[in-house]
Amino acid sequence: QVQLVESGGGLVQAGGSLRLSCVVSGRTISSYSMGWFRQAPGKEREFVAAISWSRSGTFYDDSVKGRFTISRDNAKNTVYLQMNSLKPEDTAVYYCALKSITGRSTTLLSSYDYWGQGTQVTVSS
């Protein structure tokens, strides 16, 4: 079975940094696009960042451009989200996802078919 396990969330002050990790088992991620999404209480899950399988192209929501960086270590079958200059508005549960569906947008939630359990990120003022 395909499993995604996120870690690295926690409590941080505004302006601080966190690095989230997503370890994937059951499938080699080198051939698949990977994404990070987040969901705050009372809000819909939204796109944060993605990295494509081809040439490791990256995509970011405008709200995190210049602050967050998505990367992958194929040897470790792990995807990372480096989050710098964190803001209170970044507070949410962050989810890692794998996109095995082709022909769909890399930035759409519906394009991803495997998900992790989420890790909480809380940014204080």
- The helix/strand/coil state of 67 is coil
Residue 70 token pair? 């998505």
Whole-number pLDDT of residue 104: 87
pLDDT tens sequence across 68-122:
999 999 999 999 999 999 999 999 999 999 998 888 899 999 999 999 999 999 9
Whole-number pLDDT of residue 70: 97
Whole-number pLDDT of residue 38: 98
- Report the alpha-carbon distance of residue 88 to residue 66 in Å, rounded: 16
What order of strands is seen across the sheet that includes strand 18-25? 3-7, 18-25, 78-83, 68-73
Whole-number pLDDT of residue 62: 98
pLDDT tens sequence across 57-80:
999 999 999 999 999 999 999 999
pLDDT band at 14 (very low <50, low <70, confident <90, very high): very high
Total residues belonging to the chain = 125
pLDDT tens sequence across 34-52:
999 999 999 999 999 999 9
Predicted confidence (pLDDT) at residue 25 exceeds the cutoff of 80: yes
For every residue of 72-114, DSSP letters joined together read EETTTTEEEEEE-S--GGG-EEEEEEEE---SS-TT-GGG--E
